[in-house]
Amino acid sequence: MKAFIYLPALLLLGPLAFSQASLKPIINQKAKAMESKTISWRRDFHEHPELGNNEVRTAGIIAAHLRSLGIEVQEKVAKTGVVGILKGAKPGPVVALRADMDGLPVTERGDLPFKSTVTTEYNGQKTGIMHACGHDSHMAILMSVAEILASEKANLAGTVKFIFQPAEEGVYGARGEKIVSGAELMVQEGVLENPKVDAIFGLHIMAEAATGTIQYRPGATMAAVDELDIQVKGKQAHGAYPWQGIDPIVISSQIILGLQTIVSRNVNLPEDPAIVTVGAIHSGIRYNIIPESASMIGTIRTFGTEQRKLVHQRIMDIATNIAKSGGAVADVHIGTGYPATINDVNLVDKMLPSLIELNGRDKVLLKPAHTGAEDFSFFQEKIPGFFFFLGGRPLDKLNVPVASHHTPDFQIDESGFQLGVKALSHLVVDYFEQAMPVAKKSKK
């Protein structure tokens, strides 16, 4: 019956039906009506996660849904990505909306009825796969946006490109080198062309942010990320006779401590923060053998170009010189990862009123710079982009710490999905509205 309620409402508007802003009450009703559908999609994706460049089942579900809406579909973009193109009945700009698709090599804990039990081998280790960063919710939200906007195709003054992107978490080689994938590969394959995209929007759900809130930041919002790989070569010896060898474990320990001085002594933290983290170290095989070599891998986070160069050089200097001082050799490799996520200031200024009108000034909050990284930045290098954050803090953990993203206990509150659906949809129609000629917008 609801479908018969919307049509007369539009007919009564007459010429004003051309106003894109007039679609927002209808969008809100439809987002509310399909909330359970959004949650159902999310739970299905959560129960069946797939790693980057392997999102075959996921992509199939998305492509079938978009086709059922009459949306033009492109598959196998950047290996497993899906792109849908919805052309409104009226001319106007092209807006892209992006959701990421991949899960993580994390074994889920907890007792959710839709808990993932999927396993795989990753970097030579058996592990579970889990949507431990909220990508399952991003896909479900964007699928709902696609359904709502497709139902209003006759009233849209522009084109919407739905980008379902694989491998946001990255694909890496044996030494931590980033393999071109995800958003970077999509851009190389022309996802922002044919039709050419004027602006792109994306969101990320955040487990620590209050459900029902939106957070944003103009300019540098998330960090650039690079991968660190250091191989230390010493000399093997019996553990009882250390003077006969060169201990790569001791030298690696000194290197790790030395790397911490980069942030504490070389970086201007108030102006341009940075992080250097060693995430794993491997060496040795037996309790009484000093091994020949040791290896460590880690992550580097920076926000500015010059800061990025400085940190890279200091890592190189510290590792090689500490190793040399102990008689060892350090081979340092830094793989360039994602650039910083930089929200276009003009686009944020232009579109922020849309989010405030939807959710209220007190629930649209300015966010500090985030040291996490996002390959949404590759889209933003080419066109104006606005990436914001959606609150998803579990309602039973309002006053206690919540599990971080990328951890086995990560959970989000599903009641915030409806706001995400509305926010992306409102940004589209408000962007279209602002692009319309003044005479048509004010026509009585």
C-alpha to C-alpha distance for 225 and 298, rounded to whole angstroms: 10
- Taking the CA atoms of the chain, what radius of gyration do you get in angstroms? 24
Contact 189, 163 (CB under 8 A): no
Contact 182, 348 (CB under 8 A): no
C-alpha to C-alpha distance for 278 and 317, rounded to whole angstroms: 16
DSSP state letter for 396: G
Query: Could you give the residue ranges of the DSSP H alpha helices within 55-173?
Result: 56-68, 135-151
Nearest to 369 by CA among 263, 220, 269: 220
> Would you call 102 a catalytic residue per the annotation?
yes
> Would you call 168 a catalytic residue per the annotation?
yes
User: Which residues have CB under 8 Å from 435's CB, separation 6+?
Assistant: 92, 93, 157, 158
Contact 100, 135 (CB under 8 A): yes
Helix 56-68 and helix 135-151: axis angle, to 10°? 10
Contact 53, 171 (CB under 8 A): yes
Instruction: Give Cα separations from 349 to 219, 220, 228, 343 (angstroms).
Output: 11, 14, 36, 10
Catalytic residue among 50, 55, 108, 168: 168
- Identity (one letter) of the amino acid at 341? T
Instruction: Write out the two tokens for 403.
Output: 């599990």
Query: Could you give the residue ranges of the DSSP H alpha helices within 126-226?
Result: 135-151, 182-188
Contact 359, 427 (CB under 8 A): no
Catalytic residue among 102, 169, 184, 247: 102
Active site (catalytic) residues: 102, 168
